[in-house]
Amino acid sequence: MGASDKREEVIQAWYMDESDEDQRLPHYREPKEFVSLDKLAELGVISWRLDADNYENDEELKKIREERGYSYMDFCEVCPEKLPNYEEKIKNFFEEHLHTDEEIRYCVAGSGYFDVRDHNDKWIRVWVKKGGMIVLPAGIYHRFTLDTDNYIKAMRLFVGDPVWTPFNRPHDHLPARKEYIQNFLQNEGGGQAVDAAA
């Protein structure tokens, strides 16, 4: 781990403070509490560092897509100038929700924050920059916002036909949520997150 993990140059994570300030600010705790990519993997959040300037011919990206069955691909640009109904969409993205399938995002330009819940239901902010690709597992509660640069261009990948339906919290009764709890939270004595679904 540490400096030898090239992913850390494009993906960083930390525990968030409880402040209601602008959602696009970093929201570090005082003192800062960084979270390792290994800790994210324990929550089911996996990541890669890829060559964003060469995504059309990137053999590593092709290999990941083949191995994981990501047959669908498109791009989403999130910024005031490019996204219709920008203010409403940004508000919706920041509502805590889950999906019944993986959410795969590969940042090819700009940057943004994906917030995920840990085993104790605390927010971890995951900053994804150009070249970072993350997979949020089905059933994890999460949300998204831009950072203060107000721009991200992300490749969206999906197995089969895309389904982008968000289920705002609480949706603990969904099979995807129950599977997520069983696969990633119960082994850690998941506290509130497990009890909430009981």
pLDDT, tens digit, 9 for 90 and up, residues 68-125 = 999 999 999 999 999 999 989 999 999 999 999 999 999 999 999 999 999 999 999 9
Does residue 142 contact residue 96 with C-beta atoms inside 8 Å? yes
pLDDT, tens digit, 9 for 90 and up, residues 35-81 = 999 999 999 999 999 999 999 999 999 999 999 999 999 999 999 99
Nearest to 167 by CA among 149, 156, 180: 180
* pTM for the predicted model, two decimal places: 0.91
Residue 97 annotated in ligand binding: yes
Q: Mean pLDDT of all residues in the chain?
A: 92
Residue 119 annotated in ligand binding: no
Q: Does residue 141 register a pLDDT over 80?
A: yes
pLDDT score, position 99: 97
Q: Give the C-alpha separation, 180 to 186, whole Å.
A: 9
pLDDT score, position 71: 97
pLDDT score, position 4: 72
Q: How buried is 45 (Cβ within 10 angstroms: 0-12 exposed, 13-18 middle, 19+ buried)?
A: buried
